[in-house]
Amino acid sequence: MTFQSQSTQSLSRIQQNWLAVNERRLLTWLCERMPHWVTPDRLTATGMAGALMTFVGYAASNLASPWLLLAIVGYVVQWFGDSMDGSLARYRRIERPSYGYFIDHSCDGLATLLILGGIGLSPFVTMNVALIALAGYLLLSIHAFLSARVLGELKLSYLSAGPTELRLMLIGLTIMMMVLGAGPGLFGRWSGFDIFVGAVGSILILLFIVQTMVTGRRLALAETAERIPQGSARIGDSDKRTA
């Protein structure tokens, strides 16, 4: 427990997505006006409720497409809870680094499972394709957590996009589902929605592979550089003893 607390406190958060600056201003504005009875734990629960709403909206779209509106509202609720819990804790200086890190990222994984599982249960995207996107997200999450351990860096965005940009993209996709409907597949058994979600998932997997290679090379160079001075010192000591 001591090691976890120290490591989470020293993490460097790297967030370079397009909306980061404006989103931070909005979150700070909301934190300043948040009632005292609103706590980070309640906001985390709110985020999970939003993910569940999105799951129900997609699954119920088999009955009627207007249920997709519930999925869109769920994305907004999930963004609010997920983005505000840590922001409020930092604003009020009531952080619990190890607990917050563990609960927040555990809930992120479960929320992503609910969202993509719901998409796979909808009539617009097959479950196989949705699982590819889920695998890509989870692989990038694994990379982020491993990098936090070995580099002390928690990377929250890739290709200038982070969770908020992904939510906006999925909201746009959901609106297109409402406009175009399910219909027959454009590419045999695969619909245009399948192609889009599958492409996003494939990009995430490719990003994981590239980032793994980049980080691995960075670590190898750093550890090699650490060993060289030690080897040089040993050689120098040997020469002195010989003389």
User: What confidence tens digit (pLDDT) does each residue in 84-129 have?
Assistant: 999 999 999 998 988 988 999 899 999 999 999 999 999 999 999 9
Lowest mean pLDDT among 24-33, 72-81, 184-193: 184-193
More reliable by pLDDT, 110 or 5: 110
End-to-end CA distance of the chain: 50
- Strands 153-155 and 12-14, by their bridges, are parallel
Query: Collapsing DSSP states into helix, strand and coil, what is residue 189?
Result: coil
Residue closest to 17 by CA, chosen among 162, 155, 141:
162
How far apart, in whole angstroms, are the C-alpha atoms of residue 140 and residue 204? 7
Question: Crossing angle, helix 163-180 and helix 192-242, to 10 degrees?
Answer: 160
Residue-range domains of the chain with CATH: 2-242 (1.20.120.1760)
Which pTM does this prediction carry? 0.83
In the chain, the percentage of residues whose pLDDT exceeds 70 is 84
Q: What pLDDT was estimated at residue 196?
A: 92
How far apart, in whole angstroms, are the C-alpha atoms of residue 88 and residue 92? 6
How far apart, in whole angstroms, are the C-alpha atoms of residue 194 and residue 16? 29
Alpha helices in the chain (DSSP H): 2-9, 20-33, 40-60, 68-91, 97-121, 127-150, 163-180, 192-242
Inter-residue contact 103 to 44 (CB < 8 Å)? yes
Instruction: Show Cβ contacts of residue 208 under 8 Å, excluding neighbours closer than 6 positions.
Output: 136, 139, 140, 142, 143
Tokens representing residue 227 in the block: 């060993």
Q: What pLDDT was estimated at residue 239?
A: 52
More reliable by pLDDT, 23 or 132: 132
**Half-sphere exposure for 233 (CA within 13 Å, toward CB):** 5
